[in-house]
A and B are shown apart, each in its own frame.
Chain A
Amino acid sequence: MTTTTTDAGTEAVVPLTGTHCSACDRSFWPARDLCPTCWANDLPAHDLAPTGTVATWTVVRMGKLFEVPYALCYADFEGDVRVLGRVVNWAEDAPLAPGMTVTTHADAETGDHYFTVDHASAPTEQEA
């Protein structure tokens, strides 16, 4: 796992560490030892790219695990890996949109992942 700092210098970028099956060319997150396709059972660690693309999103307003409201999105990463995560710099007046770019981070205490979104990365009408 490598740790770098964003341009803004505020939050450390921490790539998600999963695993990869070279025989099947499949990447996995969360990390798993067993490839479900070929049953190789010693898959090596593999860092995902530190940025992904929002596939879909919502704001959770009723839930017990985290303080509500919070934004959640599915983000797609290179290698066909989709990861669900909270987007901590979401705001009511700064909604997400499919196609935006998110960056991965890790909670300092738990190590659990979360995302920040680049609000300037919203796709234009033509791209969408």
Chain B
Amino acid sequence: MAGSAAATTPRIVGAATTPFGKFRDRTLESLAVEAGIAAVRDAGLQRADIDALFSGNAYAGSLVGQRIGKEMGLDGLPCYNFENACASGASALAQAYRSVRNGEFTTVLVIGVEQLSALGGGLLPIGPGDPEIKAGLTMPAAYAMRTESWLSRFGGKPEDIAQVSVKSRDAASRNPNAQYRTPVTIDEVMESRLVADPITLLQMCPNADGAAAVVVTSDPAAAGDARSIEVLSSVVLSGQFFQGWRDMAWPDITLRAVEQAYGSAGITARDVDVAEVHDAAAIGEVMYYEALGLCERGEGASFVLSGQSALAGKTAVNTGGGLLSRGHPLGATGVVQVVELVAQLRGETGANQVEGARVGVAHCTGGGIWGVDNGAAAVHVLARR
């Protein structure tokens, strides 16, 4: 099939997620299998229809895909494992998309999974050899300095940005799979524990366990399936190294990935009906509204304050609660974002449905290494058509 002239637009025909939370009594494999089987069944397919397994995970060590595959009878197939920090699952999807489009495989199961509770509590362990970690950097501190930089440049108050957390919990209150589903007020967000000035605990995403899976196929039958969702474009980039000055309030890796993804999909920001962005911290969502072109630069805080990113707003963002409330099991995040968008584009999200959603964008980015904005960023554009 390699070299086939007629590249096929890959479609997602199955999508599923486990609940996200802390599941210390479960195994990584059991979470992945639960999502994987549910996604295959959602596609109306069977075990034997899967040609390859692509796995995304950050912290569980080697051969995660094989450990999953032998539990669910996908052993013996081509199996690839992807680690790209917070973009691990999205990177697995990106390569599944490419191999299906190129005709190497017809149908690929993509599973993103993480069990952060297995690492113990507290802040995520990141790069012990990194000079900035050695100097005292924590992940919340990095987002805190982005927050300070954004506020210094554009004005406003920390609580303007913290409004993202209020919107997030509101959406999560209607998502039974979210880790934190109790609505919070802006006062509760601001009065939660100060983690790194001016960021409080409720402005940072929780560590979570969970898995999500999608089935990507070029089977022509999928085009006639009213529930199938087209993948219009898929971009994964690495961060550029800056030894010196960089704008902490302007995410260069995301900007480059978004530009490529929109260009390749033939869309503009105006076409986006619903978006999933990487709100590992509240400031992230504000910056990514701007980077995705959903609003002008410097207007991210007013975009959320005015309700433009809520369900009934101009462009609904993080309708399942995002990383902040749904939870952030790193390897699963890039996949569950797509699961949420698939449900939106199918019109199957229930209380969080964006009416008439036709185009969705999934964006995840992360990985803290010194001198780069983020280690890896992924953007996928999906459409119902």
Show the binding face of A for B, using Cβ within 8 Å: 26-30, 36, 55-66, 70, 72, 74, 76, 79-82, 84-86, 98, 112-113
Contact = CB atoms under 8 A, between A and B. Distances in A.
B136 A62 contact: no
Q: Could you tell me the dominant secondary structure of chain A's interface residues?
A: strand
B363 to A, nearest CB: 23
Given A62-B123, A84-B370, A86-B135, A56 B197 contact: no
Q: By CB atoms of chain B within 10 A, which of A26, A59, A70 has the most?
A: A59
A62 B140 contact: yes
Contacts of B123: 62-64
Given A72-B136, A112-B134, A113-B135, A60 B245 contact: no
B369 interface: no
Contact of A63 (B138, B145, B243): B138
A112 B193 CA distance: 30
Contact of B245 (A64, A80, A85, A86): A80
A73 B241 CA distance: 19
B77 interface: no
Nearest to A66: B136
A80 B244 contact: yes
A84 B138 CA distance: 12
B109 to A, nearest CB: 38
Nearest to A74: B145
Contact of A60 (B132, B138, B148, B193): B138
Chain A to chain B: the 10 pairs with minimum beta-carbon distance, closest first: A80-B244, A58-B144, A59-B197, A56-B145, A84-B132, A56-B149, A62-B195, A58-B196, A63-B138, A84-B135
B177 to A, nearest CB: 27
B140 to A, nearest CB: 7
Q: By CB atoms of chain B within 10 A, which of A55, A70, A76 has the most?
A: A55
B79 interface: no
Nearest to A115: B135
Contacts of A80: 243-245
Nearest to B195: A62
Contact of B135 (A26, A76, A85): A85
Contacts of A27: 243
Contact of A56 (B136, B193, B244, B248): B248
A72 B135 contact: yes
